[in-house]
Amino acid sequence: MMKSLLTAFFAVTLVFAFSTSMFAQDTPDMKAKKEEMKQMGQEKMKKMDEMGKSGLQSVSCDTVCGFRVTSHDEAELTGMVKMHAKTHHQKEMSDADVKAMMKPVRMREGMMYKMEEKKDEGSPHKH
């Protein structure tokens, strides 16, 4: 009888201990922090939408050449494309020409491109 009373008391004590720790986790400070994090996430998503989903811009050459460059920096992208056109195609391009070729890269496409890049790291680029 004493053993069953002690077991019941121990079980009730354990239930009480676990339930109070669960309620203590959602204090007003934690709720405020959760709300702040949620708001920051929404702001970040809004910025990504404004920047073309990921901020990445991409320019691809024709399918025969296979050249593709992706960057967050429009000036860097323009310079790379102009250099490629001059060295490989003997063609002068204006900034406006390059800008017309730029396409925003969606986040998923950007990740896929990075995965392809890692896979092809061992093989040198041939022209």
Cβ contact 103:58 at 8 Å: yes
Does residue 91 or residue 42 have the better pLDDT? 91
Phi, psi of 103 (to 5 degrees): -130, 140
Does residue 116 or residue 8 have the better pLDDT? 8
**pTM exceeds 0.75, yes or no:** no
pLDDT digits (tens, 9 = 90+) for 57-99: 889 987 678 889 988 888 899 999 999 999 988 989 999 999 8
pLDDT digits (tens, 9 = 90+) for 100-123: 988 887 765 444 555 555 555 554
Cβ contact 32:44 at 8 Å: no
